[in-house]
Amino acid sequence: MAEIYATPLYPTNGYEQGSQPLALSVRQAKKVYGSRDSVAHALDGVSFDVAQGEFVSIMGPSGSGKTTLLNCVSTIDRVTSGQILVDGKDITAMSKRSLSKFRRDELGFIFQDFNLLDTLNGMENIALALTIKHVAPSQVTTRVHNIAAALGVADVLKRYPSQMSGGQKQRVAAARAIVGDPKLILADEPTGALDSRAAAVLLETLEMMNQTMGATIMMVTHDSYAASFTNRVLFIKDGRLFNEIRRGAMSREEFFARIMEVVSFLGGEVGHVA
């Protein structure tokens, strides 16, 4: 164990050069809170890449900086210094107006609490992502029905969120996230509000979105089981990248065991939630 993790990893290129174009590139990202007398480094020089078509999870204990990282990549917050490029576009240099358009057109979001609109049915919630992008009405219905069928929620398109199970809500949210063909999908603890069965179905859905639809996904999670569905896990601690594991040819069970090894090394502050 000591040989594996004695030297923390701080990757400057989290994906092999030349293998795939990059969907996300984070370069020496720092986020500092507080004043001169009391400064907190939420992010302290984080660098990594996510290739197009990759499914990456970010893990770390509470207060490690993973949520701050997600907020900065999602343009909800800004880094104090460093660069974040999505599909080659430097979002740290964009104006507020440009960021609003970029967030609408280039990013998809899946939240722990679903964020579906209660007054809209499943069809309308998914279609909203296309409507705000001014997609022609003649295309909206076809695209929504196609994605709903692929993600197994075609039978709830006429239901309102109050008439759906938690798993159905989250898969509708996943359909909404991918229907606009974003460059990057950001998932924030997407299984946190689900029971184990619904969580497994959602994770299989995300895996399918990645493998068969080519979706690029970055997921923040504290759950080792959820992370085992991804291609690569980046561990963050005290605002820095601590280590990473690539799944490669490992089975999901083997990958889960490797993730748990690192979790144990971190003191068990993150782990499996049934």
pTM above 0.75, yes or no: yes
Task: Kindly report, residue by residue over 88-102, the tens digit of the pLDDT.
Answer: 999 999 998 999 999
193 falls in which pLDDT band (50, 70, 90)? Answer: confident
pLDDT of residue 200: 94
Distance separating alpha carbons of residues 46 and 125, to the nearest angstrom: 35
Quick one: pLDDT at residue 20? 76
Strand locations in 106-257, DSSP E?
107-111, 184-188, 217-220, 232-237, 240-246
Q: Where are the domains of the chain?
A: 2-265
Comparing 274 with 130, the larger pLDDT belongs to 130
Q: pLDDT tier at 206 (50, 70, 90 boundaries)?
A: very high
Mean pLDDT of 178-195: 93
- pLDDT confidence of 45, banded at 50, 70, 90? very high
pLDDT above 90 for 144: yes
pLDDT of residue 5: 38
> Is the dihedral angle over the CA atoms 268, 246, 204, 59 positive or is it negative?
positive
Considering only the top CATH level, what class is 2-265?
Answer: alpha beta
Per-residue pLDDT band at 62 (split at 50, 70, 90): confident
Q: Residue 189: pLDDT above 60? A: yes
Task: Identify the band that residue 273 occupies on the pLDDT scale cut at 50, 70 and 90.
Answer: very low
Provide mean pLDDT across the span 14-41.
80
Report the alpha-carbon distance of residue 188 to residue 197 in Å, rounded: 19
Mean pLDDT of 96-111: 92
Identify whether the C-beta of residue 66 lies closer than 8 Å to the C-beta of residue 58.
yes
CA neighbours closer than 13 Å in the CB half-sphere of residue 21: 8
Least confident of 32-36, 122-126, 145-149, 265-269: 265-269
Q: What is the pLDDT at residue 6?
A: 34
Alpha-carbon gap, residue 114 to 198, rounded angstroms: 13
The predicted structure's pLDDT at residue 125: 97
Share of the chain above pLDDT 70, in %: 90
Long-range contacts of 69-73 (CB under 8 A, 24+ apart): 69/26, 69/29, 69/43, 69/220, 69/236, 70/186, 70/188, 70/218, 70/220, 72/29, 72/31, 72/43, 73/24, 73/26, 73/184, 73/186, 73/218
Residue 121, SS3 per DSSP? coil
Average pLDDT over residues 8-22: 52
Q: What is the mean pLDDT of residues 164-174?
A: 95
Nearest one of 77, 86, 69 to 28, comparing CA atoms: 69
Q: Which of 32-36, 67-71, 88-92, 96-100 has the weakest average pLDDT? A: 32-36
